[in-house]
Structure formats: structure tokens, C-alpha cells
Amino acid sequence: MEQGIRTGGAAGPGLLAEAVAAYRAALDVYTSETLPLQWAMTQNNLGNALQKQGVRTGGAAGVELLAEAVVAYRAALEVYACETLSLQWATAQNGLGTALSEQGIRMGGAAGAKLLQEAVAAFRATLEVVTPKGAPRYHEIAIGNLKKIETRLNLMRNAED
């Protein structure tokens, strides 16, 4: 996945597509019933790859990839509990918020605003666990993401008025 992120041009999305295929193949082995933690980690990684691929893909295809990333992050959150796996839970929440915000910005309108509201909720959930003292870098990122999306949501609302 990292190679796909760092590779420019048309080759980058192709490498990300290969990463997506590899994570999906891993989910044939890591099932939620037999290896739930590995399954959740793979779902989270799949979400990351789909999100990066979606950002680099234009139009409806990019929006669809972002929607698939949202599904993968939500699947990981079925296993990652805030109480027991707080850092993994917060990481998946942050990824979910990022995918929802990218999707919402692209969609625009009422549907986009709804997705941005969901993104705000995910970033706020991240902040329930990620504190400035416990994980200062993650906290700073989550605060930045939250502020950015709240601002974007307010701009969308003001444009509608």
C-alpha cells in the first residue's frame, strides 16, 4: 500500500488496487469468527487502501471506493471496542471520519452534508480516547480533522441559506 501512496501518475492507483486485492484475499483467511483481531486489522488496512485509492480516483468511481472504505472501517469497529482496544478503535474511527469527509465533500448537497456530520461524529469519537497527554500527535491530527470538517460543513450550510 505504501508504494501505491508514494508512486505518482497512473502507476500509484494501480498499486493501490493491488493492495486492495491483497487485503480482500487475506479476508478469506482471516475471518471474523476464527481470527477476529486479524480480521479487524485487515478490514482497517483495507479501508486505508480504499480511501487512498478513492482520493486518487475521480468521479463516481472515487466516491464508490470511498464508500467501500467506510464499510471496511465500520467492519473493523465491530471488533475493536473502545474499552478494550482503544487505540485501534480510535484509529478506525479516524479513518472512518476521513473517508466520510472525502465522500461528503465530493457528493455535496444534503447527502454530502449528512456524510460530513457522520465524519464529525467519528472524529469526536476519536477524541474520547485520544488525549493530548496520552497520544499528542494523534490528538492533534484528530482535532485538525474535526475543525476542517466542521468548517466545511458550516460553509455548506451557509451556502444553502
pLDDT at site 62: 95
Q: Distance between CA 102 and CA 66 in Å, rounded?
A: 7
Q: What are φ and ψ of residue 97, in 5° steps? A: -60, -40
pLDDT digits (tens, 9 = 90+) for 98-124: 999 999 999 989 999 999 999 999 999
pLDDT at site 58: 87
Q: Where along the chain do its domains lie?
A: 1-79, 83-161
User: Pick from 150, 50, 66: which is nearest to 102 by CA?
Assistant: 66
pLDDT at site 135: 87
Q: Model pTM? A: 0.91
Q: Distance between CA 137 and CA 140 in Å, rounded?
A: 5
pLDDT at site 24: 98
pLDDT at site 2: 65
pLDDT at site 10: 77
Alpha helices in the chain (DSSP H): 2-6, 11-29, 36-56, 59-79, 86-107, 109-129, 136-160
Mean pLDDT per 10-residue run, the chain (161 residues)? Answer: 64 88 97 97 98 93 97 97 93 96 93 95 93 90 93 86 67
